Amino acid sequence: MKLSSETTDRRIKKSKKAMQQALLEWMEEKDFKSITITNIVQRADVNRGTFYKHYDYKEQLLEDIMDEITADLKEAFRKPYKSKAMLELPELTAPSVKIFEHVLKHDHFYTLVIASNMLTGFQYKLVSILRGLVLEDLLQAAGDEGIDQRLQAGYHSHAIFGLIVEWVHGGFEHKPDYMAEQLLLIIRNRPAEVVFKAEN
């Protein structure tokens, strides 16, 4: 008798890896939209049925690739942080430096995904992770003046994502330390009269 074992069948891993690799290669050559399932399976040298056995559409295949990137982001937060930047910047910005270092580590992928327009799935994952981290800290820090902490978490997680988008669009012309410093400055700033000017 054969029960569902813990480790996935080597054939599955092999097929998935081949298709993931094929998709990434095609993405270097042409627009995501114009890449067909047939393209992918031909380059991966697997049957089209194999694709449909594991995925419903190509976006799902991309999400599989994204999962590895976001796993790295999560891991980056667990490791203790040691670097020059930490000595120069306030201690509390360390985790945010990690974010930007993570993005820079995968700069090619981030550029590919953000520059084109298929980040829905990726953005969702990324923001969800950031939101979780922010919310965790907010709950520990305990209530501030009647602020809805879910809204606050949604606000800050998207905000950091926005910073990443700007960074990518600018072609990574700044160092991660600079980005973390800017994040701190923006947060510390009193932008009430700046975010939206009152009409006279």
Partner DNA sequence: TTATTTAATCAACACCTGTTCAATAAATTA
Partner DNA sequence: TAATTTATTGAACAGGTGTTGATTAAATAA
**Count of beta carbons in the 10 Å neighbourhood of residue 66:** 20
Q: Which of 1/185 has CB closer to DNA?
A: 1
Spatial distance between the Cα atoms of 199 and 185, rounded to a whole number of angstroms: 26
Question: Is 29 among the residues that bind DNA (CB under 7 A)?
Answer: no
Q: Which of 44/73 has CB closer to DNA?
A: 44
Stretch that binds DNA, among 31-39, 83-91, 115-123, 154-162 (CB under 7 A): 31-39
Cβ atoms of residues 110 and 165 within 8 Å? no
Q: Which of 2/79 has CB closer to a second copy?
A: 79
**Shortest reach from residue 15's CB to DNA, in Å:** 3
**Taking CB within 5 to 8 Å according to partner kind, which of DNA, a second copy, none is near residue 60?**
none
Q: Which of 3/80 has CB closer to a second copy?
A: 80
60-to-40, 78, 169, 181 alpha-carbon distances in Å = 13, 27, 25, 35
What sections of 55-148 are H helices per DSSP? 58-78, 84-88, 94-105, 107-115, 120-141
Question: Is 52 among the residues that bind DNA (CB under 7 A)?
Answer: yes
